[in-house]
């Protein structure tokens, strides 16, 4: 769906210009700071924080809550990306939702939009023998998200009016 333009035919949406600076995963600290603003999803999903054990990375349990003991990095669990934005580039309030590339994203904390759904299930890193195997900068998840950054930066973004949170495009 990446690269697809958003078309609103039956309801109002508000086009917004958002300065996207990065696409990443939340850290444990970012998750905990925004936890009450994060919509829950059904399934485990990766965080970018490593675990002290080399074969594990932190993740979030179904329904919420950090599992800082982590999940084995070769396991297939969810990728729920976060987009960092220049918060001065747009007037968003915590809890506001936008549509980008066919997904709904929630503004969960200053400068961070979090995808409301898991977009893919994949291992954090397939090469479990590497010394930095559980570090986000060397992960397969980061490589996957980096490929989407340029596309997301060019995409049309539409703000969903607050009274229309459950709209499907």
Asked if residues 115 and 81 have their Cβ atoms less than 8 Å apart, the reply is yes
**pLDDT reported for residue 107:** 94
H-type alpha helices, 57-107: none
Burial, 160: exposed, middle or buried (Cβ in 10 Å; 0-12, 13-18, 19+)? buried
pLDDT at residue 13, rounded to an integer: 57
Q: pTM here?
A: 0.83
- Ordered mean pLDDT values, 10 residues apiece, the chain (169 residues): 35 68 93 96 94 84 90 94 86 88 90 94 88 86 84 65 48
Q: Where are the domains of the chain?
A: 14-162
The predicted structure's pLDDT at residue 39:
95
Going by C-alpha positions, the residue among 6, 123, 150, 4 that lies closest to residue 56 is: 123
Q: Please tell me the distance from the alpha carbon of residue 101 to that of residue 91, in angstroms, as a whole number.
A: 20
């Amino acid at each position: 769906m990446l690269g697809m333009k958003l078309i609103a035919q039956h309801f109002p949406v508000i086009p917004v210009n958002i300065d996207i600076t990065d696409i990443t995963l939340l850290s444990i600290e970012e998750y905990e700071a925004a936890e009450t603003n994060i919509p829950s999803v059904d399934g485990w999903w990766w965080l970018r924080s490593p675990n002290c054990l080399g074969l594990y990375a932190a993740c979030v349990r179904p329904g919420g809550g950090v599992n800082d003991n982590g999940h084995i990095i070769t396991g297939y669990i969810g990728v729920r990306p976060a987009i960092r934005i220049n918060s001065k580039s747009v007037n968003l309030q915590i809890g506001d939702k936008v549509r980008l590339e066919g997904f709904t994203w929630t503004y969960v904390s200053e400068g961070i939009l979090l995808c409301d759904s898991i977009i893919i299930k994949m291992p954090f890193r397939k090469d479990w023998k590497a010394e930095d195997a559980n570090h986000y900068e060397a992960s397969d998840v980061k490589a996957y998200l980096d490929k989407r950054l340029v596309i997301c930066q060019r995409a049309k973004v539409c703000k969903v009016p607050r009274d229309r949170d459950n709209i499907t495009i």
